[in-house]
Chain A
Amino acid sequence: MKNKYSIFSLIKNAFSYHENWQRAWRDPEPKKEYDAIIIGGGGHGLATAFYLAKKHNMTNIAVVEKGWIGGGNTGRNTTIIRSNYLWDASAGLYDHALKIWEGLSQELNYNVMFSQRGVMNLAHNLQDVRDLKRRTHANRLNGIDAVWLNTEEVKKFCPIINTSPDIRYPVLGGTLQRRAGTARHDAVAWGYARGADAMGVDIIQNCEVKGIKRNGDSVEGIETTKGFIKTKKIGVVAAGHSSVIANMVDLKLPLESKPLQALVSEPVKPIIDTVVMSNAVHAYVSQSDKGELVIGAGTDAYVSYTQRGSHDVVEGTLKAILELYPIFSRMKMLRQWGGIVDICPDASPIISKTHIKGLYFNCGWGTGGFKATPGSGDLFAHTIANDEPHKLNADFNINRFVSGDLVDEHGAAAVAH
């Protein structure tokens, strides 16, 4: 039984110098067999396990992670959460996630530091204005809050933006989703891990999957660095390494894996209290609670699993940042890193069964998966438990690449693919 986190437990533990806190999750050895195994211990994978246990009573399950939980893209993203996507299918998917975010800290009894500080998307040319206004209308028809701001309103909402008409790409306006914001990315992984563990889910770290054993058209288990584990259901949530797992069963996915970079500055006093994104010049920025500017750069345009990324990509992003925010001109950047993102041709994810019985994939989140973490886990758990998709992820099946029924979200994806 897990002790509940509260103000009282904080005070109680203060008396013993915080040396007696209960372990947040166990470190079990794998059992011989599970009812289901999730490959990948990031936010999406842990959320999947959590909802499998909580909503579908599947507690004899495991999450296997080759490194440590939350050490991949969960700990490498820029923590932005929003649901202002264009198409109905995406709006349903991402707003489902946003609604779970709104109560997530209470649901998990873990402070994920969800902060609805708003996300503003800027328009820099006439086509941007048309596209973003169209998206605002589409959002509102789907019940998602969205407003159009003109240049003065943009300046009022975020005064440090340079709205001079003389810059190379002047700010012609922007959209604002007030319910959007940020969360503490590590806390999401840790909160779901603690919650899943409390219901009996085994979280097995430092356990890399080496192969998938099949019997005809169905799966029998996984070969790992900790031995063979038997199971009838495998949910793959391996982000940038999804194709690596798929290649183990000769399954081809419509994915390309590329490094996506982010960087943070030295910490400064509060200067920007929202998230501002600009697709056209490719710059987005927010400020962490520690005071660092969190800046998202672009992807490299070639397949790579190096978790580094190219210098010219960062340079391009910082040029745009400096033109939009001249006040940052003397800021020093402290850290830069890359994460490997798996990008689908239509910039939408895959949450789907495959033609192999018992093998499910949740992948293709590309450059924007963090925001969807709770919804993705919930819907993927439903798909695995019932062997059929929930109506909210039915459109995100693998077969859309055969039928041609794509969910083209290139416009709403923050990072140009």
Chain B
Amino acid sequence: MFLINCPYCGERDQSEFSAGGEAHIVRPKQPTELSDDQWAEFLFMRKNIKGVQLERWNHAHGCRKWFNMVRDTSNDKIHAVYKMGEKPPLK
């Protein structure tokens, strides 16, 4: 459990948020053109990194807005929070 600095609401308890998994997985523009392998890659395959990972989070019990996060999954330390559409800050 940790605190998350929502870019819209400020620092709140992690239990107010829900995690949306790995960030920057772009939905295919032409789904009908995709092979089964590409679908599997998009739907299921994840890096599941132990270390610094880019993630999507949703302030589900707050402003309900989505945003991105740079978090170290080995110690739950949050390095940065940035809005949807923005590029991840350089490490």
- Is residue B26 within 8 Å, beta carbon to beta carbon, of the partner chain? no
Residue of A252, A301, A303, A342 with most chain B CB atoms under a 10 A cut-off: A303
**B45 and A254: CB pair below 8 A?**
yes
Given contacts A401-B40, A402-B36, contact A302 B55 (CB under 8 A): yes
Interface size on B, residues (CB 8 A): 25
Interface size on A, residues (CB 8 A): 25
**B1 and A253: CB pair below 8 A?**
no
> Which residues of A have CB within 8 Å of B49?
243, 247, 303
Given contacts A256-B46, A257-B48, A306-B75, contact A402 B1 (CB under 8 A): no
- Is residue B7 within 8 Å, beta carbon to beta carbon, of the partner chain? no
> Which residues of B have CB within 8 Å of A402?
36-37, 39-40
CA gap between A303 and B49 in the complex, in Å: 8
> Which residues of B have CB within 8 Å of A247?
47, 49
Q: For residues 45 through 68 of chain B, which have their beta carbon under 8 Å from a beta carbon of chain A?
A: 45-50, 53, 55
**B46 and A244: CB pair below 8 A?**
no
CA gap between A257 and B39 in the complex, in Å: 21
> Which residues of A have CB within 8 Å of B46?
243, 252-256
> Which residues of A have CB within 8 Å of B36?
402-404
> Which residues of B have CB within 8 Å of A304?
73, 76
**B44 and A345: CB pair below 8 A?**
yes
- Is residue A157 within 8 Å, beta carbon to beta carbon, of the partner chain? no
CA gap between A402 and B43 in the complex, in Å: 10
CA gap between A35 and B36 in the complex, in Å: 35
Given contacts A301-B19, A302-B19, contact A254 B1 (CB under 8 A): no
- Is residue A32 within 8 Å, beta carbon to beta carbon, of the partner chain? no
CA gap between A302 and B50 in the complex, in Å: 12
- Is residue A310 within 8 Å, beta carbon to beta carbon, of the partner chain? yes
**B1 and A303: CB pair below 8 A?**
no
> Which residues of B have CB within 8 Å of A244?
50
CA gap between A253 and B49 in the complex, in Å: 11
> Which residues of A have CB within 8 Å of B40?
254, 401-402
- Is residue B74 within 8 Å, beta carbon to beta carbon, of the partner chain? yes
In the assembled complex, how far is the CB of residue B55 from the closest CB belonging to chain A, in whole angstroms? 7
CA gap between A253 and B14 in the complex, in Å: 27
CA gap between A243 and B47 in the complex, in Å: 7
A interface residues (Cβ-Cβ under 8 A, vs B): 241, 243-244, 247, 252-257, 301-306, 310-312, 342, 345, 401-404
List 8 tightest A-B contacts by C-beta distance, closest first.
A302-B19, A243-B48, A254-B44, A310-B1, A252-B45, A402-B40, A312-B15, A401-B44
B interface residues (Cβ-Cβ under 8 A, vs A): 1, 14-15, 18-19, 21, 36-37, 39-41, 43-50, 53, 55, 73-76
